[in-house]
Amino acid sequence: MKLYTIDTGLFKLDGGAMFGVVPKTIWQKTNPADENNLCTWAMRCLLVEDGDKLILIDTGIGTKMNPKQASYYYLHGEDSLMASIRKLGFGAEDITDVFHTHLHFDHCGGSVNYNSDRTKFELTFPRATYWTNPDHFQWATEPNAREKASFLKENIQPLANSNQLQFTEVNGSSPFPAFNIRYVNGHTDKMMLPVISYKEHTLVYMADLLPSVGHLPVPYVMGYDTRPLLTLEEKTSFLQEAADQNYILFFEHDPEYECCTVKHTDRGVRLNETFRLADI
């Protein structure tokens, strides 16, 4: 098995929303904000090469936002989903599976694109099977008012209309030998975290349970989370386990760090060391 980091670009989100009740005087030490109180975040995906499978975990925000939408998020950076895939010697036709941790726009937007003359939407990876789970799909297609702005029809409806969408079995076995799935519900209903055995380590793709190193302290919970008290429980349980078993945490949104390990301290579970995926 081989794992590859797929950088898809950077965007900005409100720092207060990203850290919830934590005061700016504290969170800005790790994630400094600009004059508009916006912090820069990565949209870092993961490519898993396992035998004849080439599995893309999440797809970033994509390139189909109109200028008004894009202006809300200050899309920037030199990286893009397809450029990062091509840099590794692969093309869109080589992707066999696209695994969505959840269907918020910054995690699945790259799964759907315009056709060549921009008259309709089409799936970015023509030969791939696209994965979500039935509970989360219902949650995304019948959204609550709080999350409605994160579940964009242009990302989800083309998937629903295709014959390429498949569902995992909630809390059942993974459809892939390459990784197991950990389900969490604090951020959004039935978010899926891939848990991968890699080079004698356990690597966990953190999605939005832990967006960045700055979110390691348990109370640092995003204002976007639908069930913040449940996130507290899920983070506490996960971080204890990660420190006990020396998991590698792979961050989707940290603008600087790809991976880290954590350790027990007298202040709770805290950062141990950071490193790049390629250095494992």
Q: Helix or strand or coil: residue 177?
A: coil
Count of structural domains within the chain: 1
Q: How far apart are CA 12 and CA 71, in angstroms?
A: 10
What tens digit of pLDDT does each residue of 82-97 get? 999 999 999 999 999 9
What tens digit of pLDDT does each residue of 68-85 get? 888 999 999 999 999 999
Q: How far apart are CA 250 and CA 230, in angstroms?
A: 21
What is the pLDDT at residue 118? 83
What is the pLDDT at residue 166? 98
What is the pLDDT at residue 5? 98
- pLDDT, mean over the chain: 97
- Please say whether the beta carbons of 73 and 17 come within 8 A: no
What tens digit of pLDDT does each residue of 148-186 get? 999 999 999 999 999 999 999 988 889 999 999 999 999
Four-residue CA torsion sign, 45, 8, 146, 237 = positive
| Model pTM score | 0.97
Residues in the chain: 280
Q: Which of 64, 116, 128 is nearest to 91 (CA)?
A: 128
Q: Which of the four pLDDT bands, split at 50, 70 and 90, describes residue 116?
A: confident
What tens digit of pLDDT does each residue of 233-245 get? 999 999 999 999 9
Which whole number is the average pLDDT over 199-204? 97
Q: Helix or strand or coil: residue 203?
A: strand
Report the percentage of the chain scoring pLDDT > 70. Answer: 100
What is the pLDDT at residue 173? 87
Cβ atoms within 10 Å of 161's Cβ, excluding its own: 11
What tens digit of pLDDT does each residue of 10-68 get? 999 999 999 999 999 999 999 999 999 999 999 999 999 999 999 999 999 999 998 88
What is the pLDDT at residue 141? 97
Q: How far apart are CA 39 and CA 106, in angstroms?
A: 15
Does 223 have pLDDT greater than 90? yes
Does 117 have pLDDT greater than 90? no
Looking up tokens 């989360």, which residue turns up?
Answer: 136
Report the percentage of the chain scoring pLDDT > 90. Answer: 94
Q: Which CATH number characterizes residue 192's domain?
A: 3.60.15.10
Q: How far apart are CA 189 and CA 183, in angstroms?
A: 9
Domain span including residue 170:
2-279
Q: How far apart are CA 152 and CA 127, in angstroms?
A: 23
